[in-house]
Amino acid sequence: MPKAVTFIREQRTYCGKQYMTVDLFQYTEAASKAARRTPRRRREKVSPPKQRSLNEKRARRYFIQLINANFGPLDYHMTLTYAPGELPEDEEAAKREARNFLRRVDRRRKKLGLPPMKYVMVTECRARKETGELVRIHHHIIMSGGTGPDGRELITRDDLELMWSRERINWKKAERDISYRQSVKRIGYANADRLQPGENGLEALGKYLTKDPAGKKRWSCSQNLEKPVRAVNDSKFSVRKLEAIAGSGMIWTRDFWEKQYPGYTLAGPPEIAVEATPPDEVNNWVIFAKLRRTGDGPPAERRKGGKEDSGS
pLDDT tens, the chain, 312 aa long: 445 568 899 999 999 999 999 999 988 765 455 445 455 545 666 666 654 544 478 888 999 999 999 999 999 999 999 998 898 988 889 999 999 999 999 999 999 999 999 999 999 887 676 666 666 889 999 999 999 989 999 999 999 999 999 999 999 999 999 999 999 999 999 999 999 999 999 999 999 998 866 556 688 999 999 999 999 999 999 999 999 999 899 999 999 999 999 999 999 999 999 999 888 877 788 999 999 999 765 555 544 444 544 333
The distance of Cα 23 from the centroid of its chain, to the nearest Å, equals: 17
pLDDT score, position 34: 47
* Residues 211 and 236 both lie in one domain: no
Residue 1 covered by a domain: no
Pair 153, 75 in one domain? yes
Contact present, 4 and 29 (Cβ < 8 Å): yes
| Residue among 58, 37, 35 nearest 232 (CA) | 35
* Rounded Cα gap, residues 283 and 103, in angstroms: 48
State residue 260's pLDDT score.
95
Could you give the CA distance from residue 197 to residue 205 in angstroms, rounded to a whole number? 9
Which amino acid belongs to residue 9?
A: R
Q: For residue 22, what pLDDT is reported?
A: 97
Q: Examine the domain organization and report whether 183 and 150 are in the same domain.
A: yes
Total domain count for the chain?
A: 2
**Same-domain status, 240 and 182:** no
Contacts of 208 (CB under 8 A, 6+ apart): none
Residues 145 and 216 in one domain: yes
Decide: 23 and 250 in contact? Cβ < 8 Å: no
Are residues 156 and 276 both part of a single domain? no
Distance CA 252, CA 271 (A): 7
- Is residue 61 included in any domain, yes or no? no
pTM of the model: 0.82
List the domain range (segments joined by +) for residue 251. Answer: 6-45+230-302
User: How remote is the C-alpha of 75 from its chain's centroid?
Assistant: 14
Of the residues 174, 204, 221, the one at which a domain ends: 221
Same domain for 191 and 105: yes
Residue 23 within a domain: yes
Same domain, 213 and 146: yes
The pLDDT, as a whole number, for residue 5 is 60
Question: In 71-195, which residue ranges form alpha helices assigned H by DSSP?
Answer: 91-111, 157-162, 171-176, 178-183
107 and 133 part of one domain: yes
144 and 135 Cβ atoms separated by less than 8 Å: no
Q: Is the distance from CB of 65 to CB of 77 less than 8 angstroms?
A: no
Q: Same domain for 125 and 209?
A: yes
| CA distances for 279 relative to 26, 148, 233, angstroms | 10, 51, 21
Q: Per the domain annotation, does 309 fall within a domain?
A: no
Q: Are residues 171 and 255 in the same domain?
A: no
Quick check: is 113 in a domain? yes
Query: Is 57 inside a domain boundary?
Result: no
Among 221, 249, 277, residue at a domain's last position: 221
Distance, in Å, from the CA atom of 21 to the CA atom of 258, rounded to the nearest integer, reads 13
CA distances in angstroms from 154 to 163, 191, 261, 280, listed in the order given? 14, 18, 39, 56
Q: Residue 54: inside a domain, yes or no?
A: no
End-to-end Cα separation, the chain, in angstroms? 30
For position 57, what pLDDT does the model report? 80
Query: Does residue 154 share a domain with residue 108?
Result: yes
198, 221, 244 — which closes off a domain?
221
Please check whether residue 63 lies inside any domain of the structure. no
Sign of CA dihedral 143, 145, 148, 154: positive
